[in-house]
Amino acid sequence: MIISGRVFTAMAVLAVVAACESAPITGRDRLVPMAEEALQMQAVTAYQEQMAKQPLSKNPEYTAMVRRVGERIAKAAENPPNGLWTAPGFKWEFNVIDKPDVINAYCLPGGKIAVYTGILPISQDEAGLAILMGHEVAHALMRHHAERLSNRTAVRAGTALAGAIVGALIGGRSHRGIGVAAGIGLAVAGNVVALSFSRDQEAEADRVGLILAAHAGYDPGAAVGFWERMKAANAHRDRPPEFFSTHPAADARIANIQRYLPEAQPYYKPSP
């Protein structure tokens, strides 16, 4: 079979992103994440834009608590116990966004953290907040943002390659509809694969986040109560089946966390 330019290009792109590595701590096989430096530069710009547009909390207790817990989590991230991961060398920032109806928090590449006031009642105390922030920092520490970009590039390249091969094998105008249908099917399959990667990353962030919180001096056992409260807060919301969701179902997540706790507990030394 003669390889067309379109097939050759897709094969080349797929080969570039198909290199694999093992994720720290969990050993999960994954595509090598894309370069972190460019992502961190983009994250700084995005974070600054968001902080300029969002209503920052004027509650000094909220701000002090988030920064106090965040700095301990950051210190733990920069001093990995037993060399479990590579110290990230992030330029940390912590802000609280005053949106009581938003139950969310995030950590961008480079350690740019935002916590919405809507999640603070669910966190309840510093231990609960440490579980939340440990989870979000774990995403950045494990380079999940960069990994997702690699995954999407691989899925798109694989879809383009398969579509091009189908077209080359079938050929002819009368079969063009078959090629289009095959392409649509491959695209749907690609989306499901991308979602499964996301669930894997969420579970990984839960596991690594527990170790981070424990290493920072917070009881990782607080995670069970935190996620039970999160489950209750989301009980009234419609959720898709777990297979089509980017996050694990609440009960499955809590069960997994209970399995992870014995691994994290030895790193816990209560802070004075």
Q: What are the backbone dihedrals phi and psi of residue 133, each rounded to the nearest 5 degrees, phi first?
A: -70, -35
Contact yes or no for 43/90 (Cβ under 8 A): no
Distances (CA, A) of 83 to 24, 32, 74, 167, 184: 10, 20, 16, 49, 45
Beta pairing partners, 107: 113
Verify whether residue 136 is a known catalytic residue.
yes
Beta pairing partners, 34: none
- CA distance linking residue 76 with residue 83, whole number of Å: 12
SS3 label, residue 161:
helix
SS3 label, residue 235:
coil
Pairing relation of β-strands 112-116 and 20-22? unpaired
Q: Per this entry, what is the length of the chain?
A: 272
Contact yes or no for 240/190 (Cβ under 8 A): no
Distances (CA, A) of 177 to 10, 63, 94, 173, 186: 21, 57, 52, 8, 14
Catalytic residue among 93, 136, 202, 204: 136
- Residues marked as catalytic: 136
